[in-house]
Structure 1
Amino acid sequence: MVVLFLSVIVFAVVLFCLRLHLASLSITEKRKRETTKINEASYTIVQPILSGDPRLRQDLEKNLANTRTMRFIWLLDKQDQTAQDIAAAILENPTYNERTKCLLLDEVPDRINPKSFKLQQGLAAIQTEYTIVLDDDSVIDFQRFSEMSVYEQRRDEFLVTGIPYNDGQTDFWSRLVAGFVNSNSLVTYFPMAYRNETNTVNGMFYIIKTELLRKYHVFESIQEELCDDLAVAEYLMEQGVQLVQSSIPCNVRTTLDNPQQYVRLMKRWLLFATIYMNRHRSLNLLLLVVLPSLLPTLLLLISIAVGGIAPLVVVGLMGVKAFVMKQYREKVFSIHEGASAAFYEVLNDFLLPLLYLYTLLTPSVILWRNRKIRVYDGKIRYE
């Protein structure tokens, strides 16, 4: 058992170093390119907006404050008066008002993805060369947006996806979700991109030429798909569009108030991840994504069987890994995280396999917009 324990530790360390190395190679390759200042007026940010998040106004306002000429289209539900009031309050600022258009949309038809439905309505109002699809709880790091100047030179058809991180949360359950996002984004998206296996996009933030959205009727074509980010990626790849993983960061902050919300959110994400894994099986996915997610809990279980100080060794090892990732994120994203960020990452590392087991053993049903949806083929099927 001791030999097995030591072997799994060595394997876990090697995999982590490999993922970190590939991520570094990918990010370095992207950021060493010469960039120029982009023309903000060529871009429109389109945001489906739904009230409920206490940071909604703060996040919407921050994207406006960080830009000067970039256009915004806000897609609001007619019945969501709270979101309309927040939008109206923000747009009392005349410099924001002149760059922002609010569209009030009817209720989403049954069995149609609300986000895709809203984006389809908003597409007709976009007049710029590029469209940025951005969730309402996401804030782009515009200091890194000049990377787009490299992709603007491309002559092929492409979509650029950003890299998510989660910074600024203060309550326990939200910080636990942050631990999941932050411990995985850099060492999953970039290593897979380095291995030429970018098969999905970060649905919270991606950029594409507006003409491609119209040419391929993107949102209309995927409107019955539950996982809109995966659907966008797969549909466009079928049309020959290239997916580009950029290093442009986006701060995505999900606010949760209780453990029930946390479990529901993680189950939804893990069900979506299962759909992805079933469609895009590969050795790279196994080694760079799946196994690293399982190894911490497996190591802990083996260490308990070994006894003695073995469990403490595993916890300490995961702590070192979390500290290294914290330092790496601070470097890549130019942020500063508190020391407790490592704690939430370690806790996430041990909880993730248990949450996935729970996801597999319980009915594949999620609660979405107060409706129950059964998840098994990626379509929207209400219970």
Structure 2
Amino acid sequence: MELFLGLSLCFFFFFGLRWWFATRYTTKKITGDINERQYTVLQPILSGDPRLEEDLRGNLEQTTEMLFLWLVDKSDSVAQTVTQTILKEATYAARVKVVLLDDVPQEVNPKVYKLKQVMTQITTPYFIVLDDDSVFNRARLNEMKQYEALTEDFIVTGIPYNFGQTGMWSKLVAAFVNSNSLLTYFPMAYVHANRTINGMFYISRTELFQRLAVFETIQYELCDDLAVAAFLTKHKVQIIQSQIPCNVRNTVVQPQKYVLLMKRWLLFASIYMKTFPSLALFFLVVLPAFLPGLLLFVSCFLGWQYLLGTVGLFGVKALLLRGYRNQFFGVNERISAIGYEVLNDSWLPFLFLYTLVTPPIIQWRNKKIKVTDGKIRYV
């Protein structure tokens, strides 16, 4: 019983600590208004998600002068059809350029391969890298105004939020993302220990990436977000964790796809932990991630009352975090989000275990990749 009580107190202590750090980091009021003509959005596009057209339109609908470069494989006829359909609207066609690219060479990161092809085509002072399933918040993008005044080199990263999900497995993925984003990115930034970026959405000066040839240098790295951050850190580039939300949707309809996606993310997280180990990472990310599993393990031996109590602890945490997300992102999540977060906290330990005992191989597109040293190694 003493062990259960101690773990429970630790669970809420670290939850409260991360919450306090996150809210302290986000107290600053953001003012200003960016000039859209100074920004170009780079979007590597790959068909397969049923919401592709909707998400691509989502960013265009929020902007009036911002430029877009859509990077599409020549062999991806579906993606070409989707983009052509959208660009039938003249107001969009005037701001969007579709770049058709050859298939990605072996051992090269597909996303980075596309990005490096067009860096020399960017004429605006700033560029935004945005995944094709991501939609930024235009009003909150005005936070960039304060960073434009900086004289030193920087990269700005957004805060992810997974929204609009249908189906159990997609909602579980959303629960994983949403239960971790605010309490991971912001606390690490508050203690000045943020060493990576949100690869779905980041912004920097065009001249910086052209001068350092960033994408050419990291093209053989598996985790492009970590590789960008690590490379820029070596060159004394400041990593800025912004409060700009990035809405993303992962459509997962099968349990096997859910397990494979989670395994991929957990393996990527292990690469980050090996690359940038620190006390802050241990106490603000690693330990809080393992405490739910320890609580479940202990409560299973103590009896059903303790197991019920553990689920109750998860529920209280999920309820509080739902309120925080509603306030920060300006959303109104369904009550069911609490249940999915509890399920995520309960199942995550088993996914950790599965990831540890199975070969470090992930499915990426139609190829299998062995995750060992962070390089792309096909099997």
- TM-score normalised by length of structure 1: 0.98
Task: Tell me whether 1:272 sits opposite 2:271 in the alignment.
Answer: no
Give structure 2 stretches of 5+ with no counterpart.
none
Task: Tell me whether 1:256 sits opposite 2:248 in the alignment.
Answer: no
* 1:302-351 deviation per Cα after TM superposition (whole angstroms, max 9, x unaligned): 11222252111111111010010000001000011100011111111111
Which residue, 122, 127, 144 being the options, matches 1:131?
127
Match of 1:359 in 2: 355
Q: 1:361 Cα deviation (Å)?
A: 0.8
* 1:349-380 deviation per Cα after TM superposition (whole angstroms, max 9, x unaligned): 11112111111110011111211111110001
Pairwise CA RMSD: 0.8
Match of 1:225 in 2: 221
* 1:257-277 deviation per Cα after TM superposition (whole angstroms, max 9, x unaligned): 101111111111111100000
Task: Tell me whether 1:91 sits opposite 2:87 in the alignment.
Answer: yes
Task: Tell me whether 1:339 sits opposite 2:335 in the alignment.
Answer: yes
Match of 1:7 in 2: 6
CA distance in 2 between partners of 1:13 and 1:129 (Å): 45
* 1:38-59 deviation per Cα after TM superposition (whole angstroms, max 9, x unaligned): 1011000000000000000000
Give structure 1 stretches of 5+ with no counterpart.
none
Q: How does 1:1-383 map to 2 (within 5 A)?
A: 2-29=1-28, 32-33=29-30, 35-383=31-379
Q: Secondary structure at the match of 2:363?
A: strand
CA distance in 2 between partners of 1:103 and 1:308 (Å): 58
Q: Secondary structure at the match of 1:335?
A: coil
Q: Which amino acid aligns with 2:260?
A: R
Q: Secondary structure at the match of 1:275?
A: helix
Q: Which amino acid aligns with 2:223?
A: C
Q: Which amino acid aligns with 2:5?
A: L
Q: 1:124 Cα deviation (Å)?
A: 2.0
Superposition misfits of 4+ residues, deviation over 6 angstroms = none
CA distance in 1 between partners of 2:353 and 2:343 (Å): 16
Q: Secondary structure at the match of 1:309?
A: helix
CA distance in 2 between partners of 1:106 and 1:22 (Å): 45
Q: Secondary structure at the match of 2:374?
A: coil
CA distance in 1 between partners of 2:300 and 2:112 (Å): 47
* 1:196-244 deviation per Cα after TM superposition (whole angstroms, max 9, x unaligned): 0110000000000000110000100000000000000000111111100
- TM-score normalised by length of structure 2: 0.99
Q: Which amino acid aligns with 1:109?
A: P
CA distance in 2 between partners of 1:347 and 1:327 (Å): 18
CA distance in 2 between partners of 1:302 and 1:109 (Å): 49
Return 179-188 or 366-375, whichever deviates more.
Answer: 366-375
CA distance in 1 between partners of 2:302 and 2:348 (Å): 22
CA distance in 1 between partners of 2:299 and 2:253 (Å): 33
Q: Provide the identity percentage.
A: 56
Q: Which amino acid aligns with 2:170?
A: S
CA distance in 2 between partners of 1:130 and 1:24 (Å): 29
CA distance in 2 between partners of 1:353 and 1:161 (Å): 28
Q: 1:296 Cα deviation (Å)?
A: 1.2
CA distance in 2 between partners of 1:173 and 1:122 (Å): 35
Q: Secondary structure at the match of 1:372?
A: strand
